[in-house]
Each structure stands twice: as C-alpha cells, then as structure tokens.
Amino acid sequence: MLPAPDRPAAAPRHPTPLLAVEDLRVQFRTAAGEITPVDGLSFEVAPGETLAVLGESGSGKSVTAQAVMGLLPRPAGRVTGGRILFDGVDLLTRPAAEVRALRGPDMAMVFQDPLSSLNPVFRVGTQIGEVFRRHRGASRRQARAAAIDLMKRVGIPDAAKRVDDYPHQFSGGMRQRVMIAMAIALHPRLLIADEPTTALDVTVQAQVMALLTSLQQEYGMALVLITHDLGVVADVADRMLLVYAGRAAETGPIREVYERPAHPYTAGLMASLPGEQERLTPIPGSPPNLAALPPGCPFHPRCRYAVDRCRAERPPLRAVAGPGRAAACHRAEEVLDGA
C-alpha cells in the first residue's frame, strides 16, 4: 500500500507541522493521589490534514485536547512535562495573552455536548456574532449578518429567522452546527473536535461528520478528531493515533493501520468491531486504572501477546511496517504478521 501521491502521508517528516505535541505529560491531583492521564504523548498534525485520536474513555485523549487548548481544570490539573508547539510556538511557555490571541483566529474547538457548550442565556446569533465582535471589531449589525451567513454555511435552515433563537430551541444536531459555526467563524488553521458526534443521534452523526469534512476542505484546516468510535473516522481521517493509558499505542495512516494493526490493542479493537465474523471478540479485562498502572507495558494484563519483557519494560513508540507508522509494542512485528 503506497501513500497517496498528492499528499505526503508521512506527516511527521513535514518540516513545520502545524501542531506538534512532544512528550506531553499532564498530571491531576485527585482523592486517589496523583494520576497521570497523559504520560509522554507525542504527535504531530500537518496543515490541512485530519488526524483521528482514538482511545477508550479515560485514555487521556480529551485531556490532551484540553491541554492544547489551555482548558485543563485548575488547580487540579497541570502540564508537568513536554511541549505543545503550534506553528513552532510553544504554547506552554508563551504569555497567556499571546496564547489567547491564537484561540479563535488560529485554533478552535468543537465539544461533545452541544447543549452544555452553548451559553443558555444568549441567542445563538449573539453567540456566533460575539466572535466577530471580539476578534474583528465588528459592529452589532455586521456581527449579526456574519452570524446568519455562517449559520447558512453550516446548514441551518431558515438561518435569518433562527438567528434570534436560544440554544434550547434547537435540536441536538442543529446545536452542534451552531457550535461548529462558532468554531470556524474566523477560519482557524486547526480545529479540534472532541467527540463531536457522540451526543447526537446516529442519523445526525453522519451529517455532522460530512459538514466537518466539507468545511475542512473548504478552509484547508487541520482537523484533530477525537473519538472512541473507530467507524466514524475511518473514511474521514488521513492518519490515526491510538491512545492507551495516556500513551501512544499506535499511529499511522488510518487505512493501513485498520487493515494491518501493529499493536495488540489495535488488533483487539478491530476484532471487537461488528464485521464479517459472527461473534464479536471483546478485549478481555477493563480499561486501566490510572492511579495504579501496571509496570511495563500498560496493556500487558489484557494482551494475549504479553511476555515477561512486557511486564518489566515499557515499550517505546518505534517505527514499524512502512512510512509514517509506529507502534509501542515489543512484539509489533509478530502482531503485524499474525493475529
């Protein structure tokens, strides 16, 4: 399988990735002690590319997004290591005002629950227009016109009328469209979508995904799609990053990884998808307890490939099987061949 010629699939080799997360470490103080939901995670996103960040609940994928957007709940959570480079600028070391100026015009985010992520006390038109008023100094009238245009663009019927409605008057899918309208208002170069379709009806999910991808192509944004739904992103994403216990388990071009996983966890997820086989094969065990991670590879208690080395030594993310692919498994080659 060759990478598509029109797009350099090996994004990590791109001279200046739009977003580069290097060895990120996020820690939370909890009642159960210090936990590390993100522990040495690295990934890059090239301009205009779509990266799917996959993982179970609690794997650290949403915390990573929060860290990138500067939304970690203070004072419990904090970044204790690594760098987050946006366009070569380390967001963690720059002054807050400088980073804040990037949010909106350069990077934006779409959240999981579109009802709770809209302010219930303002009309949606006001909320969308707010972005233009703040960042572009638009007048009330201009902001309202821009809001109506955006609502039309994201496929809200009767936008001129609905601009004066409150969030609770919209259906779930329409609310998510409003959220997306706010996020893309200033044509950001990076859009992080944290489970953008999870709270929506199945019929609406496909529409919202289609909207996101069409907007991405129109504006040339890089899109980071965080999800636990392998199916949703299969046709949309260029590359994928599978996160387990706050670490990268496997990364690579999404089609190749889906077809020939190099990590037992990826293989297990594929086997647990409804497909040709009659019975689904679940991954044994339960997601790791972050407060009490096993030594060595965090996946070894659930892994049928586990050997003594896996229990003792944490596998680094290493290149396997072709350009742009990497897996954090001591026995990646065997997983690739067998399974």
Partner 1 sequence: MSVIAPPAPAEAAPAAGPARRPGTARIRFALTVIAVYVAAAVVGPVLLAYDPVATRTADRLLPPGSRTSDGGLAVFGTDQVGQDLLAQMLQGARVSIAVGVATLLLAGLIGVVVGVVAGYFGGFLDGLLMRLADVQLAFPSILLAIFIAALLGPSVVNVVIVLAVSNWVTFARVVRSQVLTVRGREFVDATRTLGAGTWHVVRRCVLPACVAPVLVVATVELGHVILAEASLSFLGLGTPASTPSWGVTIANGRNYLAEAWWIATIPGLALALLVVAFGVLGDALRDRFDPRLKSL
Q: Name the residues that contact partner 1, by CB under 8 A.
A: 66, 69-71, 73, 75, 97, 100-105, 107-109, 111-113, 116-122, 130-131, 134-135, 179, 182-183, 185
Q: Which is nearer to partner 1, 83 or 135 (CB)?
A: 135
Q: What span, in angstroms and rounded, lies between the C-alpha atoms of 131 and 296?
A: 47
Least distance to partner 1, CB of residue 296, Å: 35
Least distance to partner 1, CB of residue 187, Å: 13
Q: Which is nearer to partner 1, 179 or 329 (CB)?
A: 179
Q: Which is nearer to partner 1, 222 or 262 (CB)?
A: 222
Q: Which is nearer to partner 1, 41 or 118 (CB)?
A: 118
Least distance to partner 1, CB of residue 217, Å: 22
Q: Tell me if 177 sits within 8 A of 156, measured CB to CB.
A: yes
Q: What span, in angstroms and rounded, lies between the C-alpha atoms of 299 and 201?
A: 32
- 3 state SS of 28: strand
Least distance to partner 1, CB of residue 136, Å: 11
* DSSP, res 293: P
Cis? peptide before 75, omega within 30° of 0 = yes
Of the candidates 96, 136, 106, 127, the residue with the CA atom closest to the CA atom of residue 18: 106
Phi/psi for 117 (5° steps) reads -95, 5
Least distance to partner 1, CB of residue 138, Å: 14
Q: Which is nearer to partner 1, 124 or 332 (CB)?
A: 124
Q: Which is nearer to partner 1, 119 or 289 (CB)?
A: 119
Q: Which is nearer to partner 1, 2 or 121 (CB)?
A: 121
Least distance to partner 1, CB of residue 226, Å: 14
Q: What span, in angstroms and rounded, lies between the C-alpha atoms of 309 and 315?
A: 9
Least distance to partner 1, CB of residue 192, Å: 8
Q: Tell me if 241 sits within 8 A of 326, measured CB to CB.
A: no
- Residue appearing with tokens 């200046």: 16
Q: Tell me if 198 sits within 8 A of 56, measured CB to CB.
A: no
Least distance to partner 1, CB of residue 167, Å: 9
- 3 state SS of 39: strand
Cα first-last separation, the chain: 19
Q: What span, in angstroms and rounded, lies between the C-alpha atoms of 23 and 88?
A: 15
Tell me the CA distances in angstroms from 147 to 80, 117, 126, 128, 197, one per residue in order: 39, 17, 8, 6, 22
Q: Which is nearer to partner 1, 91 or 230 (CB)?
A: 91
C-beta atoms surrounding 94 within 10 Å:
14
Q: Which is nearer to partner 1, 222 or 254 (CB)?
A: 222
Tell me the CA distances in angstroms from 170 to 54, 142, 204, one per residue in order: 29, 23, 13
Least distance to partner 1, CB of residue 179, Å: 7
